[in-house]
Structure 1
Amino acid sequence: MNWDFYIKSYQSYLKIERGLSKNTITNYSFDMERLCLFLSDNNIEVSPLKINEETIQQFIYTISSQVNARSQARIISGLKSFFSYLIFEDYRKDNPMELIESPKTARKLPDTLAVEEIDALIAAIDLSTNEGERNKAMLETLYSCGLRVSELVALKISDLFFDEGFIKITGKGNKERFVPIANQTQNYILIYKNNVRTEVPVKKEFTDTLFLNRRGGQLTRAMVFTIIKNLASKIGLKKKISPHTFRHSFATHLLENGADLRSIQLMLGHESITTTEIYLHLDRTFLTEVMNNFHPRKTK
């Protein structure tokens, strides 16, 4: 009942007006497809302009037995966004999601690595191969700049501003930010770029892409995950880690060494400081040290 029209219109709004990434728009759209499938399976013929709170409550009750609380909360958030859009465009006057609450979810703390563990992972890279030099440069960049893996594999040579000490990152929603890069990490990149990358037969469309696979194309996120997983196995690391673990470790280590949340937020590219606050999972000893060092009523 006209769902396709409104969903496509909503997708255009998310892309053009809100500047969201393709993956985020896909996730929002999947939430709407779930609702449409529920209506079809239960022979409920109602348009997005007429659907009421009771019907949506039935849908949420159904999916609650299929997904965990975190996924359920994400779906509810997606539906709220969709109906808010319909109100924004004057398609309907009320939001059937207004009184529907998301389930309480425990705030998941990110896994982190100690500096010694990161050093051990990078030291385990076989530098006798071209791929080894590339992998070392990648993991050093991943950790020292706190990048998302998608940002790492998309990094371009034209994004390197080494004279100024920064790299330009295009993050979620195509938002750009400049992240400081240490001299040591710059050196690892230059070794790879000048001595290894020049030996790769680069495909035309990836001439500006920094990190390439052996066929001259862009690396996939899955490939970076596999590289890290194999290194963890090689050194006998029992933690379950991923490329994102390096990003979490970057933020945690900065915070532990006295960096302020606002600076970390800017470097990570978080739109909200609330997202960055998850890194405040520090032990009480460290928090006591912060209090004693910086508060005017510190212990004498």
Structure 2
Amino acid sequence: MKWEHILKDYLTYLKLERGLSINSINSYELDLLKLINFLKVKSILATPLTIDQETLQLFLYEIAKELNSRSRARIISGLKSFFNYLIFEDYRKDNPTDLIEAPKIGRKLPETISVEEIDQMIAAIDLSKAEGERNRAIIETLYGCGLRVSELTNLKISDLYFDEGFIKVTGKGDKQRFVPISDYNIKYITIYKDQVRCHQEIKPEASDTLFLNRRGAQLTRAMIFTIIRQLAEKANIRKKISPHTFRHSFATHLLENGADLRAIQQMLGHESITTTEIYMHVDRTYLREVLETYHPKKT
């Protein structure tokens, strides 16, 4: 069986059976394509049904020259998943990755920015330009609702339940959740929607999409990254800031101000509370202040 055929079936399985997002599926595909390319370059005649542990180790030694431990661990995890799929479909009886250990990696803490830094970025927006109000609404929504970048770009006007104080968000695996939205955030979305967006010529397929580019089409993930990077530069913020930084900051600031971890989990759309617990990294100085303020035997 050829790699291309089984890869196509595997990607369909990831989409339909496991309900993974397009971005996750693309990552699995790219990692397996690295393996396929390695086999071609080295002229190794191995199929998905015959490849063995030794060949996989050679591949991993090769990629270790250019990838960090976190990336290698991700690839090994993806290979284990792929061969488990082959066993599940009765293509193989064994998993050649069973004895391959992933490199140990430390848990990476999320990058966050302060409310003051967010305000600096918003102040850097040129509201005299047509896209100014849109960009302000984007920043306020990323931070105010803790959205993933794909959730923001896919947000529809029909998903806005402002009277009830919620927006409907479609997350990973097309799972939907209702996220509360503040009056402050509603204000800036409404300004953009009613004073800027309504004057655009909008492409038919984007008629219900909230955030549009200058051509009246849905904004891309790459464009959101560009907007944020440029604003950070204008605000003279040296940190590496991405759309996800606002999501991390949203969760961290809520936690620091006493929000319940389960509530944060629901707002972020995490299936497991373990994923949300990464936000328990709150600054040690803050934890010390909590101890000194609230512990009954503080003196």
Q: TM range, normalised to the smaller chain?
A: over 0.9
Give the C-alpha shift of residue 289 in structure 1: 4.9
1:234-249 pair list within 5 angstroms: 234-249=234-249
Q: C-alpha offsets along residues 100-137 of structure 1, whole Å, 9 cap, x if unaligned?
A: 11111222222211111111211222222331111111
Q: Deviations over 1:234-292 (max 9, x none)?
A: 22222221222111111110111112222222211223323222222222333345557
1:7-86 equivalences under 5 Å are 7-86=7-86
Q: Which amino acid aligns with 2:57?
A: Q
CA contact (8 A) 1:167 1:179 kept: yes
TM-score normalized by structure 2? 0.93
SS at match of 2:281: coil
Secondary structure, in 3 states, of the residue corresponding to 2:150? Answer: helix
**1:220-231 alignment, distance < 5 Å:** 220-231=220-231
Give the whole-Å Cα distance in 1 for the aligned partners of 2:127 and 2:4. Answer: 53
**In the TM superposition, what whole-angstrom CA distance separates every residue of 1:218-243 from its partner, at most 9, and x where no partner exists?**
11222222222222222222222122
Q: In the alignment, is the contact (CA less than 8 A) between 1:291 and 1:298 conserved in 2?
A: no
Residue 274 (structure 2) aligns with: 274
Letter in 2 for 1:82: F
Distance (whole Å) between structure 2 residues aligned to residue 205 and residue 151 of structure 1: 17
- Normalising by structure 1, what TM-score? 0.93
Distance 1:210 1:239 in 2: 29
Percent identity of equivalent pairs: 66
Q: Report the Cα distance in structure 1 between the residues aligned to 2:237 and 2:2, rounded to whole angstroms.
A: 53
User: What secondary structure does 1:280 align onto?
Assistant: helix
Measured after TM superposition, the shift of residue 299 of structure 1 is 4.7
Q: Distance in 2 between matches of 1:42 and 1:189?
A: 54
Cα deviation for residue 4 of structure 1 reads 2.0
Alpha-carbon distance in structure 2 between the residues aligned to 1:86 and 1:298: 59
SS at match of 1:51: coil
What's 1:263 paired with? 263
CA distance in 1 between counterparts of 2:57 and 2:233 reads: 46
Displacement of 1:144 in angstroms is 0.3
Structure 1 position 98, deviation (Å): 1.1
1:63-88 per-residue CA deviation (whole Å, 9 max, x = no partner) reads 11121111111110110000111111
The one-character-per-residue Cα deviations of 1:18-70 (angstroms, maximum 9, x if unpaired) are 11122211211122212122222222222222222222112111211121111
Unaligned runs of 5+ in 2: none
Q: How many residues align?
A: 299
Aligned partners of 1:235 and 1:55: how far apart in 2? 50
Closer, same or farther: CA 291–89 of 1 in aligned 2, 3 Å = farther
Coordinate RMSD, CA, aligned: 1.9
Q: Structure 2 CA distance, aligned partners of 1:289 and 1:221?
A: 39
Determine the C-alpha separation between the residues in 2 that align with 1:131 and 1:52.
Answer: 54
